[in-house]
């Protein structure tokens, strides 16, 4: 006998177990003990500004490593770095990274560090899940562990992948803060920093490394300086001994650490409690503590700082333009005449893909001294401010991740190149 559709019992859909939610504001500054995937599931969506992740490298060591004198190398032999095969590691990577993307704010970014053993698989997962890669950064170690067998190159670097939540993300990049850190030069994507050693390297009661892969504070300091603002909430799902928390505390950022090893939880908690923090928020500097008013070039014309007809020059006095009443600049006459913004005309004069007109164009005094028009902008900004200007500089509206790629952000600037802006700004 044929059964009617109404007689067939509906399939039972498994109901996920209830999740006890975690208020990120209530646990900021804490180390949460537990599995990172399970703990992240309890955090609300879109709740953290940045994520730094130092996941297991899956080194696949077949056995202990020894030096030529047969002494044993303190390598990564912990259980948390062992996976049965690549498929298991990939499944784990996709699982934690999917939760990381869920808890990341729409304008947030993620940093993941790894070695050649895992970083390519991590990179594939990042793209599979919809993140948009902004940069890969090479951490070149000044004092790497030597290659004892002499059968390969010395592993002298690790790779960090910096990615936006998606292609539409208007992410934060503190370009000017990093440039100041780098003695006025653009910060490159290869970072020369020492590994964690000396007093910074934490030891256990027997004098051995407390953690096999402790990262140097200098590395975390630069990462947080690059992509966060004071007060931002940073999540580290593989907290270890708490380097992310120590750097966050020093820079006025908030943090949430997740760590499943009770020993590391105790060590990180004690270490952070003893770590110093910056006493005066004004010392944090950065690109966006308090954003100063954005000054349009046309305002310099309107206020008379740059009268119509003023001639502007590049720093070598080879190219010149004249200021127009509508806030544009022009060069040439008749059919050869051209006009545009200070940025567009800077591109035309320099022949480069982009140009910051504020630093490219200069006024010329009677004695021939050239002064960037950016100085006039600073003067006007100071007059408009209620208080004297500080070291904090303005930040233009951040581009989307995809638009920045389309604008050719991957080009290699020269050491004395001006700040890179889109020619259409």
362-397: per-residue pLDDT in tens? 999 999 899 999 999 988 888 776 443 333 333 445
d(CA 53, CA 140): 18
Please give the C-alpha separations between residue 357 and each of 202, 234, 266, 293, 414, in angstroms, as whole numbers: 48, 35, 53, 18, 17
Q: What pLDDT shows up at residue 140?
A: 93
Q: What pLDDT shows up at residue 411?
A: 44
CA atoms within 13 A on the CB side of 9: 3
111-136: per-residue pLDDT in tens? 999 999 899 999 999 999 999 999 99
59-68: per-residue pLDDT in tens? 655 555 444 5
Q: Is the pLDDT score of 293 beyond 90?
A: no
Report the pLDDT averaged over residues 290-317: 87
Query: Is 0.85 topped by the overall pTM?
Result: no
Q: What pLDDT shows up at residue 75?
A: 47
Q: Is the pLDDT score of 409 beyond 70?
A: no
Q: What pLDDT shows up at residue 289?
A: 42
Residues in the chain: 425
């Amino acid at each position: 006998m044929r059964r009617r559709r109404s007689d067939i019992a509906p399939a039972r859909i498994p109901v996920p177990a209830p999740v006890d939610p975690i208020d990120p504001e209530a646990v900021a500054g804490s180390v949460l003990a537990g599995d990172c995937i399970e703990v992240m599931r309890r955090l609300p969506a879109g709740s953290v500004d940045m994520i730094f992740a130092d996941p297991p490298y899956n080194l696949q060591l077949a056995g202990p490593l020894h030096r030529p004198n047969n002494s044993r190398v303190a390598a990564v032999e912990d259980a948390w770095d062992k996976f049965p095969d690549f498929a298991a590691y990939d499944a784990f990577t996709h699982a934690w990274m999917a939760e990381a993307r869920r808890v990341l704010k729409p304008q947030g970014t993620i940093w993941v560090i790894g070695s050649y053993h895992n970083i390519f698989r991590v990179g594939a997962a990042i793209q599979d899940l919809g993140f948009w890669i902004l940069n890969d950064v090479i951490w070149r170690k000044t004092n790497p562990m030597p290659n004892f067998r002499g059968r390969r190159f010395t592993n002298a670097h690790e790779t960090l992948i910096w990615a936006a939540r998606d292609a539409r993300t208007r992410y934060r990049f503190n370009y000017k803060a990093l440039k100041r850190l780098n003695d006025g030069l653009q910060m490159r994507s290869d970072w020369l920093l020492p590994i964690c050693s000396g007093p910074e390297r934490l030891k256990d009661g027997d004098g051995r490394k407390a953690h096999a892969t402790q990262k140097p504070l200098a590395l975390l300091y630069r990462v947080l300086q690059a992509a966060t603002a004071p007060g931002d909430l940073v999540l580290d799902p593989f907290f270890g001994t708490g380097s992310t928390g120590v750097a966050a505390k020093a820079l006025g950022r908030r943090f949430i650490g997740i760590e499943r090893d009770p020993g590391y939880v105790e060590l990180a908690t004690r270490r952070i409690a003893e770590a110093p923090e910056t006493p005066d928020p004004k010392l944090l500097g950065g690109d966006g503590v308090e954003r100063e008013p954005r000054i349009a070039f046309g305002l310099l014309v309107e206020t008379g700082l740059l009268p119509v007809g003023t001639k502007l020059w590049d720093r070598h006095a080879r190219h010149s333009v004249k200021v127009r009443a509508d806030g544009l600049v022009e060069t040439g006459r008749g059919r050869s005449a051209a006009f545009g913004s200070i940025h567009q005309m800077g591109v035309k004069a320099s022949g480069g893909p982009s140009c910051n007109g504020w630093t490219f164009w200069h006024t010329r005094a009677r004695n021939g001294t050239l002064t960037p028009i950016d100085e006039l902008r600073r003067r006007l900004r100071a007059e408009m401010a209620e208080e004297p200007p500080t070291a904090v500089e303005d930040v233009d509206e951040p581009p989307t991740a995809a638009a920045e790629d389309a604008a050719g952000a991957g080009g290699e600037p020269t050491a004395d190149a001006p700040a890179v802006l889109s020619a259409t700004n």
